[in-house]
Structure 1
Amino acid sequence: MKLKTRAGSVVFDNVTKTYGHGAVTAIDNVSFTIHPGELVTLLGPSGCGKTTTLRMIAGLEHATSGRILIGDKDVTQLPATDRDVSMVFQSYALFPHMTVAENVAYGLSVTGVAKAEAKEKAEEGLNLVGLAGYGSRLPSELSGGQQQRVAVARALVLEPEVLLLDEPLSNLDAKLRRHVRTEIRDLQQKLGLTVVYVTHDQEEALAVSDRIIVMNRAVIAQQGTPRELYEQPQSEFIADFIGDANLVDGEIVSVDGDLATIDIGGINCNLRHRGQSKGPARIAVRPDAVRLSILSGAAGGDVIETSLKGHITHATYLGSQMQYSVTTPVGELFVIDHRIDTPIAAGEQVAIGFSERGMAVVSTK
Structure 2
Amino acid sequence: MTDLKPGSVVFENIRKDFGAFTAIPDLSLTIEPGTLVTLLGPSGCGKTTTLRMLAGLEHPTAGRILIGGRDVTMVPAHERDVSMVFQSYALFPHMDARDNVAYGLESSGFKKQEARELAEDGLAQVGLAGMGHRLPAELSGGQQQRVAVARALVLNPQVLLLDEPLSNLDARLRRRVRTEIRELQQRLGLTAVYVTHDQDEALAVSDRIVVMKEGRIAQTGAPRTLYEQPASAFIADFMGEANVISCEVLELDGDHAVIDVGGLQHRLPSRQNGPGSAKLAVRPGAIVLNPESGSGIGGEILTAAYLGGHVEYEIETPVGNFFVIDHSVEHLLAPRTAVSLGFRNRGLALIDG
**TM range, smaller chain:** over 0.9
TM-score (norm 1): 0.95
Tell me the equivalent position of 2:95. 98
Aligned residues: 353
1:144 partner amino acid: G
Tell me the equivalent position of 2:10. 11
How far residue 342 of structure 1 moved from its aligned partner, in angstroms, is 1.7
Structure 2: stretches of 5+ with no match in the other structure: none
- 1:325 aligned residue (304, 314, 319): 314
> Following superposition of structure 1 onto structure 2, how do residues 45-56 of structure 1 map, counting pairs within 5 Å?
45-56=42-53
2:203 partner amino acid: L
* More displaced stretch, 340-349 vs 101-110: 340-349
Tell me the equivalent position of 1:34. 31
1:141 equivalenced with 2:131 (yes/no) = no
Tell me the equivalent position of 1:313. 302
How far residue 363 of structure 1 moved from its aligned partner, in angstroms, is 2.1
Say whether the 8 Å CA contact 1:92–1:151 is kept in structure 2: yes
How far residue 88 of structure 1 moved from its aligned partner, in angstroms, is 0.4
- 1:181 aligned residue (166, 178, 185): 178
1:211 equivalenced with 2:208 (yes/no) = yes
Structure 1: stretches of 5+ with no match in the other structure: 297-303
Say whether the 8 Å CA contact 1:294–1:348 is kept in structure 2: no
Q: Distance in 2 between matches of 1:294 and 1:271?
A: 24
Q: Distance in 2 between matches of 1:295 and 1:29?
A: 51
Alpha carbon RMSD of aligned pairs, Å? 1.0
- Cα deviation 1:57-89 (Å, max 9, x = unaligned): 100011111111000101111110110100000
* More displaced stretch, 137-146 vs 42-51: 137-146
Tell me the equivalent position of 1:24. 21
How far residue 274 of structure 1 moved from its aligned partner, in angstroms, is 1.5
Q: Distance in 1 between matches of 2:306 and 2:198?
A: 24
1:362 equivalenced with 2:351 (yes/no) = yes
How far residue 159 of structure 1 moved from its aligned partner, in angstroms, is 0.5
How far residue 117 of structure 1 moved from its aligned partner, in angstroms, is 1.2
Q: Distance in 1 between matches of 2:204 and 2:71?
A: 31
Tell me the equivalent position of 2:68. 71
Identity between Structure 1 and Structure 2 (%): 63
- 1:230 aligned residue (227, 230, 253): 227
1:257 equivalenced with 2:254 (yes/no) = yes
* More displaced stretch, 201-210 vs 315-324: 315-324
Which aligned runs of 4 or more in structure 1 are off by greater than 2 angstroms? Answer: none
Say whether the 8 Å CA contact 1:103–1:154 is kept in structure 2: yes
1:345 partner amino acid: A
Q: Distance in 2 between matches of 1:342 and 1:222?
A: 39
How far residue 212 of structure 1 moved from its aligned partner, in angstroms, is 0.2
Say whether the 8 Å CA contact 1:294–1:344 is kept in structure 2: no
Counterpart of 2:352 in 1: which secondary structure? strand
> Following superposition of structure 1 onto structure 2, how do residues 150-165 of structure 1 map, counting pairs within 5 Å?
150-165=147-162
TM-score (norm 2): 0.98
How far residue 157 of structure 1 moved from its aligned partner, in angstroms, is 0.4
